[in-house]
Amino acid sequence: MPSDCSTASGRTARDTTLAPTGPPPTRLVLLFAVACGSAVANVYFAQPLLVTLGDRFSLGPGLLGALVTVTQLGYAAGLFLLVPLGDLADRRKLITVQLGLLSAALLAVGLAPGTAALLAALAVVGALAVVAQTMVAAAAHLAAPAFRGRVVGAVTSGVITGILLARTVAGILADLAGWRSVYLFSAVLTATLAVLLRRALPPGGPPPAARLPYRSLPASTVALFARHRLLRVRGTLALLVFAAFSTLWSTVVQPLSSPPWSLSHTAIGAFGLAGAAGALAAGVAGRWNDRGLARRTTGTALVLLALSWLPLAFTRQSLWALAVGAVLLDFAVQAVHVTNQTLVHAVRPDAGSRIIGGYMIFYSAGSALGATASSLAYAAAGWTGVTALGAAFSCAALLLWATTRSS
């Protein structure tokens, strides 16, 4: 396996020969942002539809989390196996092929005749949705260093917007034309974006001298996390906070769909707009990190995360309690997420894509854990069991931070 030094020198050679002199065109940055948001949204579409999907495919309350879990596991596999292809292949071809395959997978979800076909298609959707990470890396590569931060920030905002709007769009479309329309609409949109990006992106990838053998990239990612304690600590924090995040959003559809609320898909999806707090948290956390306050940001956010479950416990009595708790939870999770990414990338900037990809595996594993465990908790103990589980994940994250504050 090539050494880290050879990796860094290879990237230097690539950047020297293909160094851009300014930012990419504004229209391309906007297209990247829309495509990233659309790709990530596919991972979250199922959440407001879980009860409907359970009825259609005869899944009990304890099995509804499997729909989210298989998508997240697919996403984790894609991060580990597909994202490294960005260091090997022509980016225009890689992005457009992945978007084309994602469109086909979405079509398969929308036409799924049974449970096995649905779960398999959702897993493939999750794996191919990691094209968003490839597009972020491509946008960074197309920008000169002086413009890279703002370009990556603009594209990343598309990811937050995709997460924010996914539940709302899914709820509206499901009410208007049924749950299948959500995935069929996304399939058409994804195919359209593939064509537009094919036309807009310049061809290019790393020159042959800078390329690593594909088989060495996943092993190198594992070695980086084995070597650096901070990566392991921050990855574990991501697992716990996103387990708490998924505990809420993978299960809240069940009490909201039943008496006394009996809300429509649209109304349930509207609660996803509380994620606007997450977009605000990203900016606030970023500024605090620039001021050297990463540890304080993490601690404050984790305290808010633990406290968010107090109002959330009263969801069956008050929708205002749900709204307040969701705002606190989303704000806290995104603040920790932005801080984590800032810190782990600084460990080895020359290996940033591998580190971020490895970190996102923890994120995906936590989301899958929360979805599965919360469905089982709801089946066993109702909403009380769910809030206890979410509080346990949140307190575990706070305890981890308190005992590893040097990281």
pLDDT score, position 42: 95
Is the pLDDT at 352 greater than 70, yes or no? no
192 and 250 share one domain: no
pLDDT tier, 205 (very low <50, low <70, confident <90, very high otherwise):
low
- 386, 247 in Cβ contact below 8 A? yes
pLDDT tier, 58 (very low <50, low <70, confident <90, very high otherwise):
confident
Give the residue-averaged pLDDT of 40-60. Answer: 88
How far apart CA 258 and CA 251 sit, in angstroms, is 12
How far apart CA 388 and CA 214 sit, in angstroms, is 43
Is the pLDDT at 72 greater than 90, yes or no? no
| CATH at residue 274 | 1.20.1250.20
255 and 388 share one domain: yes
pLDDT tier, 275 (very low <50, low <70, confident <90, very high otherwise):
low
Is the pLDDT at 7 greater than 80, yes or no? no
Give the residue-averaged pLDDT of 365-371. Answer: 89
Give the residue-averaged pLDDT of 327-350. Answer: 81
58 and 132 share one domain: yes
- 260, 316 in Cβ contact below 8 A? yes
351 and 203 share one domain: no
208 and 221 share one domain: no
Is the pLDDT at 5 greater than 60, yes or no? no
176 and 96 share one domain: yes
pLDDT score, position 128: 96
Give the residue-averaged pLDDT of 225-237. Answer: 95
- Rounded to the nearest 5 degrees, what angle is found at the Cα of 190, between the Cα atoms of 196 and 148? 60
pLDDT score, position 330: 86
pLDDT score, position 173: 93
- 315, 325 in Cβ contact below 8 A? yes
Q: What DSSP assignment string belongs to 96-137?
A: HHHHHHHHHHHHHHHT--SHHHHHHHHHHHHHHTTHHHHHHH
Is the pLDDT at 18 greater than 60, yes or no? no
Least reliable range by pLDDT among 4-13, 44-53, 124-133, 346-355 = 4-13
Which of 187, 213, 239 terminates a domain? The answer is: 213
204 and 225 share one domain: no
Which of 213, 230, 256 terminates a domain? The answer is: 213
125 and 240 share one domain: no
Q: What percent of the chain has pLDDT over 90?
A: 41
154 and 273 share one domain: no
pLDDT tier, 6 (very low <50, low <70, confident <90, very high otherwise):
very low
Strand locations in 221-323 (E): none
pLDDT tier, 369 (very low <50, low <70, confident <90, very high otherwise):
very high
Least reliable range by pLDDT among 81-85, 97-101, 171-175, 359-363 = 81-85
pLDDT score, position 133: 83
pLDDT tier, 280 (very low <50, low <70, confident <90, very high otherwise):
low
127 and 230 share one domain: no
Is the pLDDT at 209 greater than 50, yes or no? no
CA distances from residue 205 to 273, 352, 380 in whole angstroms, order as listed: 38, 17, 51
User: Which of 174, 180, 227, 261 has its CA nearest to residue 3?
Assistant: 227
135 and 264 share one domain: no
Residues in contact with 390: Cβ distance below 8 Å, sequence separation at least 6, in sequence order: 244, 247, 248, 309, 312, 370, 374
Torsion of CA 247, 251, 255, 261, to 10 degrees: 100
Give the residue-averaged pLDDT of 269-293. Answer: 68
The phi and psi torsions of 348 (rounded to 5 degrees) equal -150, 85
Per the model's pLDDT, the better-predicted residue between 28 and 335 turns out to be 28
Kindly state the DSSP code that residue 212 receives in the 8-state scheme. Answer: P
Is the pLDDT at 350 greater than 70, yes or no? no
Q: Which of 115-119, 207-211, 271-275 has the highest mean pLDDT?
A: 115-119
Which of 213, 239, 259 terminates a domain? The answer is: 213
8 and 153 share one domain: yes
Question: In which domain, by residue range, is 55 found?
Answer: 1-213
Provide the number of structural domains found in the chain.
2
Is the pLDDT at 279 greater than 70, yes or no? no
Residue 58 burial by Cβ neighbours in a 10 Å radius (0-12, 13-18, 19+)? exposed
